[in-house]
Amino acid sequence: MSLQLLAHYRTFDQSEFDAHAESRGQAGLTLLQRWKAEDGSQWALFSVNDQAKAADWLDREGALDHGPSTHHFLRTV
């Protein structure tokens, strides 16, 4: 079973998102897909190589106000 992260960004800045690509990669996250909702918010689906590293990344990004507004770790079944 693979682990994924579904992240919701209430506000989204493409240049800021791109600037944090390296830190996401170091956290073992790979962007699989992104969607834009009618309200302008965005959803991103990442594959997760290491849940602990991904959780640390979420904490750091949240503290810097760069991260997703909400998130869920999911496993395929």
pTM above 0.85, yes or no: yes
CATH number at residue 12: 3.30.70.260
Please, which residues have CB within 8 angstroms of residue 68's CB and are 6 or more apart in sequence? 7, 8, 9, 44, 58, 61
User: In residues, how long is the chain?
Assistant: 77
Decide if pLDDT at 61 tops 90: no
Give the count of domains, the chain. Answer: 1
Decide if pLDDT at 66 tops 80: no
What pLDDT is recorded for position 70? 94
Judge contact between 20 and 13, C-beta under 8 A: no
Strand ranges across the sheet with 29-36 = 29-36, 42-48, 3-9, 70-75
Give the tens place of pLDDT for each residue, 10-60.
999 999 899 989 999 999 999 999 999 999 999 999 999 999 999 999 998
What pLDDT is recorded for position 71? 95
Full domain range(s) for residue 42: 3-75
Q: What is the CA radius of gyration of the chain?
A: 12
